[in-house]
């Protein structure tokens, strides 16, 4: 699932200076998602249950049962809410520090390719089969806007740092820009030949970087949707892009044939040069916290988080 790839997140530095954080898990975990603040970690268990833990104490705050079978997670801005989705179209939103029952609803009949909060109460859900939508989850979840494509669904989405623009990447190879006040499409970029799998705004919000099966980062002007430049192509496909400080982006490259290990490259958008990122070998989850990458690995019920400098 794509969201699993999204959990392999990136860093502003390739070094890991602090002592690792160690947590005892309530289960053997296959994937994890660290919250924006680094206070929480959602873990998916081998028994198909999932839990939200407090990183500093290892305390389990909320849990979903194996019946829910949630495998994709996303935190709201400010880490108030956790959204979760499963492979049968089931979705849920839960207050991480509350006691209220989770809001559960159906977003389709399939898994999701994109699960991401666009605003504190607005959740983007792109089912593998069906039309992506922006859900208002402030009360009973309701569709606020639909994010149409020519065919197939969305593969990625990101919100500008000022919260005004949404960019989506579609399996139809189209990159679309939306005004988040009106949800009207402002621009689109139709020159990609292969599917984009990832899209991210630069730290200053002025550009959007997309990448995918073409193994190339294409930089678009956020104000016009037009291409500014493309960085050198790679034989591997790009499955994730994360925004770093100092005009840098980090991209996760994976072998299209699935035969060789994945790796990270950190790109300087100005110089169009890249440096190797940290190894993602055996990494099962992570997150970007205050511009630093947190990478998680597990062994049995023990989880270790390495914190970047």
Q: Is 4 helix (H, G, I), strand (E, B) or coil?
A: helix
CB of 176: closest distance to other proteins in angstroms? Answer: 16
* Whole-angstrom distance, CA of residue 198 vs CA of residue 239: 6
Sequence-separated (6 or more) residues with CB below 8 Å from residue 62: 51, 52, 82, 94, 96, 102
Q: How many residues does the chain have?
A: 309
Q: Is 5 helix (H, G, I), strand (E, B) or coil?
A: helix
Residue among 7 and 128 whose Cβ is closer to other proteins: 128
CB of 218: closest distance to other proteins in angstroms? Answer: 14
Residue among 148 and 268 whose Cβ is closer to other proteins: 148
CB of 213: closest distance to other proteins in angstroms? Answer: 5
* Whole-angstrom distance, CA of residue 118 vs CA of residue 127: 16
Taking Cα atoms as reference points, which of 64, 14, 7, 61 lies closest to residue 30?
7
Residue among 23 and 157 whose Cβ is closer to other proteins: 157
Residue with tokens 């206070």: 39
Residue among 13 and 110 whose Cβ is closer to other proteins: 110
CB of 241: closest distance to other proteins in angstroms? Answer: 15
CB of 146: closest distance to other proteins in angstroms? Answer: 15
Residue among 131 and 138 whose Cβ is closer to other proteins: 131
Sign of CA dihedral 22, 23, 27, 29: negative
Residue among 34 and 174 whose Cβ is closer to other proteins: 174
Residue 162 burial by CB count (10 A; 0-12/13-18/19+): exposed, middle or buried?
exposed
CB of 155: closest distance to other proteins in angstroms? Answer: 8
Contacts with other proteins by CB under 8 A lie at: 128-129, 150-152, 171, 173, 192-195, 197, 212-215, 235, 237, 256-259
């Amino acid at each position: 699932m794509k969201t699993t790839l999204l959990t392999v997140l990136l860093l502003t530095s390739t070094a890991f200076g602090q002592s690792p954080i160690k947590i005892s898990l309530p289960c053997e975990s296959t994937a994890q998602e660290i919250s924006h603040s680094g206070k929480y970690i959602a873990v998916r268990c081998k028994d198909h249950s999932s839990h939200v833990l407090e990183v500093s104490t290892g305390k389990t705050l909320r849990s979903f049962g194996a019946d829910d079978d949630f495998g994709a997670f996303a935190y709201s801005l400010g880490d108030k809410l956790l959204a979760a989705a499963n492979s049968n179209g089931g979705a849920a939103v839960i207050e991480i520090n509350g006691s209220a029952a989770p809001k559960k609803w159906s977003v389709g009949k399939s898994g999701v390719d994109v699960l991401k909060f666009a605003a504190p109460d607005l959740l983007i859900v792109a089912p593998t089969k069906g039309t992506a939508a922006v859900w208002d989850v402030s009360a009973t979840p309701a569709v606020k806007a639909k994010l149409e494509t020519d065919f197939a669904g969305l593969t990625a989405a990101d919100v500008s740092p000022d919260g005004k623009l949404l960019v989506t990447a579609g399996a139809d190879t189209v990159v679309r820009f939306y005004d988040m006040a009106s949800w009207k499409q402002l621009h689109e970029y139709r020159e990609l030949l292969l599917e984009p799998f990832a899209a991210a705004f630069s730290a200053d919000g002025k550009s959007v970087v997309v990448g995918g099966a073409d193994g190339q980062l294409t930089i678009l002007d956020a104000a016009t949707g037009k291409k500014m430049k493309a960085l050198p192509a790679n034989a591997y496909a790009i499955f994730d892009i994360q925004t770093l400080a100092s005009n840098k982006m980090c991209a996760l490259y994976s072998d299209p044939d699935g035969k060789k290990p994945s790796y990270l490259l950190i790109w300087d958008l100005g110089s169009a040069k890249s440096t190797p990122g940290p190894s993602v070998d055996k990494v099962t989850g992570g997150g970007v916290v205050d511009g630093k990458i947190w990478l998680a690995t597990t062994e049995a019920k023990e989880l270790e988080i390495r914190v970047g400098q």
